[in-house]
Structure 1
């Protein structure tokens, strides 16, 4: 294994918008189930935009996991490499002011600090408009196949395939409150949310 090759496995997306959170949930699941050599970093990039730039600058290889709108049937998996990666990033922007990951890569390139290798493993989303919703069944079914592919890339191309993590040693990139299980099972019904609001949000805002 080449320990000098610093590998960043980065999940990007927004868990508030259903399948847009696929990349975040994939890295969360990867961290829970597997441990990797010291040169492999797993990171929930969320929607941090340019705040991710220092992490890209310190990586030699970037493996991205994201929901990608290819215009293909929901759940379709695709893989892109190096110069083809920026054109396919970001299924949804939350506002005109949000920095897309294309801009992050562009900034790293202008600074001459873009990772030498880039690999994007993406899944076609089914739903991006369900605010507060979790992954659809179609897209959730692609979590394990995508993680199998990411581990295969790490093992076969970089000699860093990792080892299954014992259940007692499980870890996560997400806090307990927004882990996939807690987030998706804790969602109020549409009727309750319409009448009284989502208590998860109201409590955080001090409204309860």
Structure 2
């Protein structure tokens, strides 16, 4: 029976480095052709909605921004039981709490991937609503992809580099287009609503 492999990027592209996992999956999908038994999914912040995808996989590869308490841009790899254990111990955002539940409920329902592999990056900036990846974290997209490709080779899976592709999430949310279309920080406040957060008193320029 052919092994089913799911490469899943999770996170929120609207909160700067929080979107690393999604951007990494997009880059893999845009840059490489994979065999039919390998699926790439932009999981975003779907939480429990990811259970059917996870249960179908024999091997689950996760890309995400994770707080390892390391210098920004650091990459860390975790495997198998260390993955749900780390999500449970190091909650950086709500989607990580819900993804821990996805793994637990998948097992409770009788089918969890036999193999788990996580490539996580230490974020530099999260509180930048509408902001893109920082340069520090963006520089780790290619190294993260190479680690995923190396892991796939241990499962006898080879990917072929290609020239271009429309992307997992469509053109509107592709990284290059997102950069071109989003407003500058002085045109759209990215850290909250000044009417509620008293940003002027705190020294922020958002009106």
Q: TM-score range by the shorter chain?
A: 0.7 to 0.9
Structure 2 match to 1:161: 158
Structure 2 match to 1:173: 168
Runs of 4+ with deviation above 6 angstroms:
none
1:124-163 correspondence to structure 2 within 5 Å: 124-155=122-153, 157-163=154-160
Relative to the length of structure 2, the TM-score reads: 0.85
Relative to the length of structure 1, the TM-score reads: 0.85
Give CA-to-partner distance per residue, 1:147-194, whole Å, 9 cap, x none. 011011112x11112101133xx2310211111111122221223225
* Structure 1 unaligned residues grouped into runs of 5+: 195-208
1:1-208 correspondence to structure 2 within 5 Å: 4-89=2-87, 91-93=92-94, 100-155=98-153, 157-167=154-164, 170-194=165-189
1:109 Cα offset (Å): 1.2
Q: CA RMSD in A?
A: 1.5
Give CA-to-partner distance per residue, 1:55-91, whole Å, 9 cap, x none. 1111000000100001111011111111110133363
SS in 1 for 2:110: coil
Give CA-to-partner distance per residue, 1:86-131, whole Å, 9 cap, x none. 133363227xxx9620011110111121100000111100011111
Q: How many residues align?
A: 186
Structure 1 match to 2:196: none
2: CA distance, partners of 1:21 / 1:38: 26
